[in-house]
Amino acid sequence: MTELKKKALITGATGFVGSHLARRLVNDGWDVHIIVRLSSKLEQLREAKDKVIVHRHDGTTEGMLAIMQEAQPEIVFHLASLFISEHQPKDVVPLIHSNLLFGTQLLEAMKAAKIDRLINTGTSWQHYQNEEYNPVNLYAATKQAFEDIIRYYIETSPLKIITLKLFDTYGPDDPRPKLFALLKKLAKDKRPLAMSPGEQLIDLVYIDDVVEAFIIAANRLLSGEVANHEIYAVSSGSLVELRELVGMFEECAGRKLKINWGGRQYRKREVMKPWSSYKTLPRWKPKVSLKDGISGIIQ
């Protein structure tokens, strides 16, 4: 007798973390459905894009209900979000639409379709200065607001949720304009770059380890271990100062970068030391060292 495939629905599958998760689930033999915008492109999924079922969301709650009824997943992975580090007035509506409205539509559709397992994605930036809640920026505030909305759905349905709060993620083929992309570009064009004094501590987790955390969380939900809403951090457990991190990159790349340390000021509400008073997901720990991860990016 053929064993039935496990079925998942992913939001944010065209992003860096979501695309890696989708490819991992496909390779593990899952039946994978993804929700994307009408205008979304699937290049980030690469070879997996022909092995997933794509649902294009028209932005309406009714459209989300139809997708959920059609997909009927055992579990939903919610990674879709809009990240803006320092927002402008024009960014308020997109942030609310992406990080609150879309997620609430997802929860409403899950409740209507009787889908009761969700993995939500939060951020360590909800905990500025290591506080129980202090958002670094409006993006982090919308993440916390969505957790408050989750509470309502937990109280009014059989929904079981794990929220994974991510720190900095990195890995090969990352399209985001983040630090390593900047350093790789700097290594090629050899132009000087003004950076902050570089004393901030950073918590970096390699993409394969991040994806493994989502898989372990899914298995925890599917095995019935979760009572209502569990919240865990996906942390390397090892902090590195920005100056030291750049030095590791230079060592792996075999070249010195032209960096003007202190050439620009720290951002407002710069995270100098990441959140540390968190719970770690049971049965998960990072396996890829920072040096090996950086070498993988460079190669």
pLDDT tens column, 143-157: 999 999 999 999 999
Q: What residue ranges do the domains of the chain occupy?
A: 7-169+204-234, 177-203+238-274+287-298
Which helix (H) or strand (E) is 33 found in, with range? strand 31-37
Dist CA 96 CA 264 (whole Å): 30
Dist CA 260 CA 193 (whole Å): 6
Dist CA 259 CA 194 (whole Å): 6
Q: Does the domain made of 7-169+204-234 have the CATH classification 3.40.50.720?
A: yes
Dist CA 114 CA 69 (whole Å): 9
Q: What is the CATH number of domain 177-203+238-274+287-298?
A: 3.90.25.10
Dist CA 57 CA 73 (whole Å): 16
What are the angstrom distances between the C-alpha of 111 and each of 11, 100, 117, 229, 237?
Answer: 17, 16, 10, 15, 36
Q: Same topology for domains 7-169+204-234 and 177-203+238-274+287-298, yes or no?
A: no
Structure confidence at residue 146 (pLDDT): 98
Structure confidence at residue 1 (pLDDT): 42
pLDDT tens column, 189-215: 878 889 999 999 999 999 999 999 999
Dist CA 250 CA 183 (whole Å): 9
Which positions of the chain have pLDDT values less than 70?
A: 1-3
How do beta strands 240-241 and 201-202 pair? Answer: antiparallel
pLDDT tens column, 89-126: 999 999 999 999 999 999 999 999 999 999 999 999 99
Task: Give the angle subtended at the CA of 270 by the CAs of 265 and 274, to the nearest 5°.
Answer: 140
